[in-house]
Structure 1
Amino acid sequence: MKNLNKPASDSGVLRKTLLSAAISFCAISSSAFADDDVVTLIEMGDLHGTLVPHAAVLKNLDGSEREVASSGGLARLKTVVNTIRADNSEAVLLSTGDLTHGSAETMFTVGDAMMVPMNAFGIDVYTPGNWDFGYGGAVFRNRFTSFGPKPTIPGNLRAMSGHIGCDDVPVIAGLTDEASGYTCNEITATAPFPTPEGKGVIQASFPTVAANVYNAAPLPTFLHGKPVLPPFKMLNRNGTQIAVIGLTASIVPQQADAFNIGLRFTQGIEELPGIIEQVKSLGAELIVVQSELGLPQNIKIAQTFEDIDVMYSAHTHEVTLGALLVTEKKITRTTPGESLSRGELRQLSNGAAIVVETNRDMYVGRLDLEMNHGDVVDFDWEAIPVDESIAEDPAMAELVAAMEEDFIAGEDGLVKRHSFLPGGFLNPSTQGLQLVDDLDTVVGYTDTLLLRHHVLEDTLNNFLADAILDVTNTVPDVRDVPGWENGVDISMANGFRFGNAVLPGSEITLRDLYTWFPIAPAVNIADFAGQSIEGSLNTILGAVFNRNVFMQRGGWYLGLANMEQTIDLKNRPFSSSSGRIVQTKIGGMPLDPGKRYVFASCYGHGNALDHVCRTGGGANHKFFQLADADDYSSDITLSEPVNKVGIITGPVVKQVAPNNYLHPVHALRRYLDSLTDNTVTEAQFGTGQGRVTTVDSKNPGNLPQAESEQIGQPGNTPDASFVQPPFGAGPDFFSGSINNHSH
């Protein structure tokens, strides 16, 4: 625990430097602190179902960037974890956020392909992310909960959960054999409606904690308000009592309605005081909160609760090269690779929390805490880049290969069929999204970086939105609908943070496409009033840039096709200026609030039928379907919804999209086939087109803002290398402070 009266340390301990472009992993130095004074935390966050290496853009110590052809992958992560444990056998392995979602392998197995190898890591404490709820409450409860109801896995999901069972786990010496302590379990016998043998999901063999998720309807009333997970886990390392408190993402109710059936979420703020007092009464000397609320909210929580020693942040996919020291009045970014200054040591001794975050499988965090009678007196933080210099752990590489086997063509050139069946779909051989191609199939090329890399306009999102617009606009049925004679007006792409990078001059594979759209939405279409479209986009901008961090949702802005916008993030919104959007143009003409526009994008199964890509209020809702579910290039026609009302009734989710619904990955493949040389180009999709431009609406002519002023950086952030300003954008007093806000 922090001692607010303890004098500053003068130890001036030299800090090791693990980060460098030419890191030699076998030469990682041990902690500079005495072994009996150190608690080591290993942190892996937001892995997003990524099993194998991929290209990436990594940060250097100075915040600059470098492109690497091969980064991450579970076998490299295992090497990093093993090496840190060899240096400190008492190290605590923490993982937070979005483990079982983000790739084709996880989508088509409802996460089982990821759970098999993750159960071999020896995770000490896990806290789930919003996408871990993406397969519904039954899968989540069977996988992660240690008490409470274990509902039967719904029939539609069994098509995916049945792909991998415990019998499919290879016995690998030192990893999954009996001597290693590896366990694999599936719940299949829960009464009164048991899941059939072989159709259960792989359970987590590690403890999962979260204080802010509760049971709700349609579960029996006596369960309402009861916690779904334990709020914390107590550990002992080197004689130090450690409490690890979990906070899961609070935004699940804002996602597809099928995600949170039977669940209620809070921000966790009201629960924290009681939990902190409880762990203190149990003897906790070090309090760690691992949170999927996102960096902005986590910084605010660390500022508010002085008993928090470490805030391990996830969800926002930022990387803190230098740890943040956070007090109520001050946030300081420490310098990576250097000893703490006297001022930083003084800040630490006066109660500062240490806030850190890593980004997917591209970094592993190592935090060495020097303890003195229950106080943190110094620390070492390293965001270790998982690049080509780190060798793959052979045993983990073998286990990952076993999970990949059914997704790669065999000697006969064939791939095992995989089907994704949303709610109401029941026949895997004739319904739902079909995967019949090798994930490493080359589907295109690029001369520019493809990565969700910017909070506003982004080349990848431009390409995704254009692809859906182009493909849906070629469907003859669209123009047969009254009022749609001119075809599709606009499309948009979700502002997801996840997805693999594809470097300039590289091949694009089917695997890459599924990391960009690792959910199973159906491409849909409806018409909307211009006012509804702009209103929804203003709402999304508010969720990204709200000055009240607890009103931020996460995610970045959408990709726009056949649309241009000027927005003011510095001076808006006021009641006198409505939202942050200054002007929207569609097809080069100013948006008409009363005109109805035809909008094609994607529909989350289970949502209300007025939705297209986070935009509500649509009419004449229809779906696109393929003539042959196995052939992405087959004819596309329009289809009415299978069900229009009562889509979710209790735990039952009805089928809405047609059997052979068009998926965004289908649209991307068709669009790549139509491009010259199947190539995505900077000239066609780059951000230089200015689809989203920030302006100063207080000055005549709405002139564009300078780049440094566009989203409030660097003045409104403790670290200018962050993608998103953690404290939002707009006037300071929108955050509740007037002239007294210090960062």
Structure 2
Amino acid sequence: MLNLPSAREIFALTLGLAASIFAPLTVAGSGQVFLIHTGDIHGHLVPRPNVRSDAVGGTEGGLARMYTLIQQIRSKARQGKVNRSLLINTGDTLQGSGEALFTRGQAMIDVLNLFKLDAHAPGNWDFLYGTARFEEVFKGTNERAPLAPWNALASNLYYTKQFDDATECGITGKDAHGTIRKLKRVLPPYAIKRLGEVKVGLLGFTTARAVAALGPKVTAGYEFTDAEIELPCYVDLLRNREKVDLLVMISELELSKDIKLVEVNSGVDVVLNSDMHEKTTRPIIVRHASAPSTLLFEEGQDGTMLGELQLDVKGGKIADWKWTPHIISAAIKEDKGIVAKVTEVRKPFLKGSFVPGQSVTVGGNTSTLLHPVDEVIAYSQVSLHRSNFVDEDMPAVVEGSSHDLIADAMRWAAGTDAATLRGFRYGTHIPAGQPITMEDIYHLNPCSHPLNNS
């Protein structure tokens, strides 16, 4: 006997077919996207000299100049009411100057909050003031919003003793009973942004070397990974579940590490990187045999450079791109509102309005500021910097005159015949014949100084 469907079953089947036919399809997006990238600002609020061979004349950097340029790009990117730009900051931001140190980063937060950042990848030095301060700044505590609402992302940052069995693409640890469980993340791993029709996935990575760089005290309770587990998993998740058109990795893992990561893990369109203060005047391109290429960028140091990447996306793929590396030069007019805020946060640190006795405790060590940061303490007959290029002076060696100065000071203080320090581009530039101020010392070595307590 033939079993025919009932009228109710026919009606339900008809509705199901209609729903499947008219259900919204996932359509790949098309349009222009502007990525505006800053990185490794390192507490620099105002312009500084450049004594390297790539100097453009006058001073470089300064947040008031940077903001002017950002607003110009944003204006160019806007199409009617559609925002097509994202402002992304990566790397060490809350450390690198006396003003940053003695406010535990608040001086930088107060100014950069005016920039309306869309995303941030924390750097190793952003953990300097301890994990409680880190969460107060970037995560929010006790139902309070983060002091820096920059949409901080870090897929490779976990609590060592907190667990969340819903964690995706993560690592595991043992709980108090010895049971293997998934570690809980401190910050969100990624964010999705819509720019017109284009769906952009932002995948964040913080440093992998915070404990080695800063010590176990200020990073206690946190665990950092090298992203080798998280990256391929999240590429798959963002591409296949979230269906992003554009996948942007924002990272403080070091440029060389990111190159290696994307060489073996295709699917990332763009890497905006920080950490080693490399200056990519043209992009590094990693080509894949059966997938689109990956573009990598880094913006030097101290807020002296800003990257502008214009992408033409068609059908969910990059059809064309244009990269513009902007040097933040004296030719850029300062934004008056940012100038006012920078003046406000710097006022307690300068002669005439200096507030003595400001203290900060880092890793159990307390330092007190007894001198205004613009006080002159010495002069140099040679230009000082710690940021040469490896094809100049000493091939393949990162060294500068400030390296020599610091190493000689260490040798003198210790009474030794030799002293060494890491060859790393870091700190301010001081032209020959110009005074050396306390501010310069904090830019070169932003931690406690014996001068403060003398």
Q: Is TM > 0.5 for Structure 1 vs Structure 2? A: yes
Letter in 2 for 1:290: I
The answer to whether structure 1 residue 145 and structure 2 residue 139 are counterparts is yes
Match of 2:440 among 492, 497, 512: 512
| Residue pairs, 1:264-283, within 5 angstroms | 264-280=223-239, 281-283=241-243
**Kept after mapping to 2: 8 A contact 1:217/1:224:** no
User: Secondary structure of 1:235's match?
Assistant: strand
The answer to whether structure 1 residue 42 and structure 2 residue 36 are counterparts is yes
**Kept after mapping to 1: 8 A contact 2:399/2:424:** no
Letter in 1 for 2:136: N
Q: Which residue in the other structure is 2:102 paired with? A: 108
Q: Which residue in the other structure is 2:9 paired with? A: none
The answer to whether structure 1 residue 501 and structure 2 residue 435 are counterparts is no
| Residue pairs, 1:710-729, within 5 angstroms | none
CA–CA distance in 2 between the matches of 1:464 and 1:240?
A: 49
Instruction: List structure 1 segments (4+ residues) > 6 angstroms apart after TM superposition.
Output: none
Shift of 1:233: 0.6
Give CA deviations for 1:107-132 in whole Å, capped at 9, x if unaligned.
Answer: 11111111111111111011101111
Q: Which residue in the other structure is 2:194 paired with? A: 236
Give CA deviations for 1:339-382 in whole Å, capped at 9, x if unaligned.
Answer: xxxxxxxxxx9611111111120111000001111110110101
Match of 2:254 among 275, 278, 294: 294
Q: Which residue in the other structure is 1:613 paired with? A: none
The answer to whether structure 1 residue 133 and structure 2 residue 127 are counterparts is yes
CA–CA distance in 1 between the matches of 2:387 and 2:71?
A: 31
Shift of 1:218: 8.9
**Kept after mapping to 2: 8 A contact 1:48/1:100:** yes
Shift of 1:234: 0.2
| Residue pairs, 1:18-417, within 5 angstroms | 37-57=31-51, 65-66=54-55, 68-89=57-78, 90=83, 91-145=85-139, 150=141, 203-217=147-161, 221=175, 225-255=183-213, 256-280=215-239, 281-328=241-288, 351-360=292-301, 361-410=303-352, 414-417=354-357
Give CA deviations for 1:684-705 in whole Å, capped at 9, x if unaligned.
Answer: xxxxxxxxxxxxxxxxxxxxxx
Letter in 1 for 2:278: E
Give CA deviations for 1:521-547 in whole Å, capped at 9, x if unaligned.
Answer: x7xxxxxxxxxxxxxxxxxxxxxxxxx
**Kept after mapping to 2: 8 A contact 1:48/1:498:** no
CA–CA distance in 2 between the matches of 1:498 and 1:203?
A: 27
CA–CA distance in 2 between the matches of 1:305 and 1:629?
A: 49
CA–CA distance in 2 between the matches of 1:384 and 1:302?
A: 25
RMSD: 2.5
Cα distance change of structure 1 residues 145 and 463 upon mapping to structure 2, 3 Å threshold: same
CA–CA distance in 2 between the matches of 1:356 and 1:287?
A: 14
Letter in 1 for 2:385: L
Residue correspondences, number? 395
Letter in 1 for 2:232: P
Cα distance change of structure 1 residues 57 and 244 upon mapping to structure 2, 3 Å threshold: farther
**Kept after mapping to 2: 8 A contact 1:303/1:328:** yes
Give CA deviations for 1:143-167 in whole Å, capped at 9, x if unaligned.
Answer: 1125xxx49xxxxxxxxxxxxxxxx
**Kept after mapping to 1: 8 A contact 2:44/2:62:** yes
Cα distance change of structure 1 residues 449 and 293 upon mapping to structure 2, 3 Å threshold: same
Identity %: 30
Match of 1:435 among 369, 385, 394: 369
CA–CA distance in 2 between the matches of 1:322 and 1:267?
A: 26
User: Secondary structure of 2:420's match?
Assistant: strand
Shift of 1:424: 4.4
Q: Unpaired runs of 5+ in structure 2?
A: 1-29, 164-173, 389-396
Cα distance change of structure 1 residues 421 and 376 upon mapping to structure 2, 3 Å threshold: same
User: Secondary structure of 2:184's match?
Assistant: coil
Shift of 1:283: 2.1
Letter in 2 for 1:442: V
Shift of 1:300: 1.5
Q: Unpaired runs of 5+ in structure 1?
A: 1-35, 59-63, 152-184, 188-201, 330-348, 426-431, 474-487, 523-625, 632-743
Q: Which residue in the other structure is 1:418 paired with? A: 358
**Kept after mapping to 1: 8 A contact 2:130/2:362:** no
Give CA deviations for 1:49-107 in whole Å, capped at 9, x if unaligned.
Answer: 1111111257xxxxx62264311111111111111011113211011011111111111
CA–CA distance in 2 between the matches of 1:269 and 1:57?
A: 38
Cα distance change of structure 1 residues 137 and 496 upon mapping to structure 2, 3 Å threshold: farther
Give CA deviations for 1:307-352 in whole Å, capped at 9, x if unaligned.
Answer: 11111111111111111221247xxxxxxxxxxxxxxxxxxx9611
